[in-house]
């Protein structure tokens, strides 16, 4: 992609100018609750503004679907079915607002409901995960291949917070005992890298917002792991946000989790 380095540079600039100056220095007045314990900060808003302006210069005339823009105007999400940028200007806002990691910036390009390019930037470490469909997955320009942890039982980060109560209890009883459970990081920009870099073997997600998952799904699949709907069908950015998703370090780990989840239905 001719503009690949330009997106890299933009994400670093946004992190340095809009996000990190507010890290561990937010006042109460600079944090709002969008509802349901879903915070937004001045850093989220400034980051999205800079990203919108910067991405428009890199590839003009694409629809822009940003988390904060869409919260203010839900009709913005209609752009997900066409050619668009998909942006989470500060993923892991809850962590950021509490003054702790992880948090990052997520950007994807999509066409026809499927992501074809993705960037995941860790603001504190500077780690950049990138992928373009059919061209592999990279961390800081080095190609990576997804690997399992090798642990027995496998390591799982299972998000239960958006599940209905009956399903949550069933997962706790029938799925969780098969895994060594670790905390979820409340940050897709961290959770997807963990699935490819030998830290976690599998994760399940109930809510699948495009700005959280578009880039990560693409990147993990390009690394040779597997991220897909629980029935194995491809993740689409314009689909139901509660369709459920499994991310795994390998197709084998995906299949094992999918079989166990299917047995609950």
Here the tokens at position 199 are 């830290």
Task: Consult the annotation and say whether 141 binds a ligand.
Answer: no
Q: Which of 187, 186, 179 is nearest to 248 (CA)?
A: 179
Task: Consult the annotation and say whether 218 binds a ligand.
Answer: no
Q: How far is CA 53 from CA 10, 62, 159, 164, 253, in A?
A: 10, 12, 33, 39, 40
Here the tokens at position 106 are 């997520």
CA angle, residues 189, 192, 196, in degrees to nearest 5: 135
Task: Consult the annotation and say whether 212 binds a ligand.
Answer: yes
- Strand extents, DSSP E, 177-225: 180-181, 202-205
Here the tokens at position 194 are 């963990």
Side-by-side strand order, sheet with 63-66: 63-66, 84-91, 104-111, 114-122, 128-132, 137-139, 142-144
Task: Consult the annotation and say whether 88 binds a ligand.
Answer: yes
* Contact indicator for 113, 212 with CB cutoff of 8 Å: no
* Contact indicator for 234, 246 with CB cutoff of 8 Å: no
Task: Consult the annotation and say whether 49 binds a ligand.
Answer: no
Annotated binding-site positions for Mg(2+): 67, 88, 90-91, 212
User: Binding site, residues?
Assistant: 67, 88, 90-91, 212
């Amino acid at each position: 992609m001719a503009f690949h380095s330009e997106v890299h540079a933009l994400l670093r600039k946004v992190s340095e100018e809009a996000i990190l100056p507010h890290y561990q220095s937010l006042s109460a007045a600079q944090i709002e609750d969008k509802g349901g314990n879903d915070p937004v900060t001045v850093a989220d808003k400034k980051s999205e503004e800079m990203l919108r302006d910067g991405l428009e210069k890199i590839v003009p005339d694409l629809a822009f679907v940003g988390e904060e823009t869409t919260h203010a105007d839900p009709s913005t999400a209609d752009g997900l079915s066409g050619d668009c940028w998909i942006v989470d200007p500060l993923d892991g806002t809850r962590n950021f607002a509490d003054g702790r990691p992880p948090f990052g910036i997520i950007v994807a390009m999509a066409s026809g409901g499927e992501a074809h390019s993705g960037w995941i930037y860790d603001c504190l470490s500077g780690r950049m995960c990138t992928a373009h469909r059919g061209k592999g997955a990279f961390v800081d320009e080095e190609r990576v291949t997804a690997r399992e942890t090798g642990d027995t039982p496998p390591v799982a980060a299972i998000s239960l917070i958006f599940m209905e109560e009956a399903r949550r209890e069933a997962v706790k009883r029938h799925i969780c005992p098969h895994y060594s459970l670790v905390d979820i990081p409340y940050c897709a920009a961290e959770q997807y890298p963990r699935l490819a870099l030998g830290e976690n073997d599998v994760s399940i997600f109930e809510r699948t917002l495009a700005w959280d998952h578009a880039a990560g799904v693409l990147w993990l699949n390009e690394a040779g792991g597997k991220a897909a709907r629980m029935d194995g069908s491809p993740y689409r950015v314009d689909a139901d946000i509660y369709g459920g998703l499994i991310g795994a370090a390998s197709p084998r780990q995906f299949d094992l989790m999918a079989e166990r989840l299917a047995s609950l239905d």
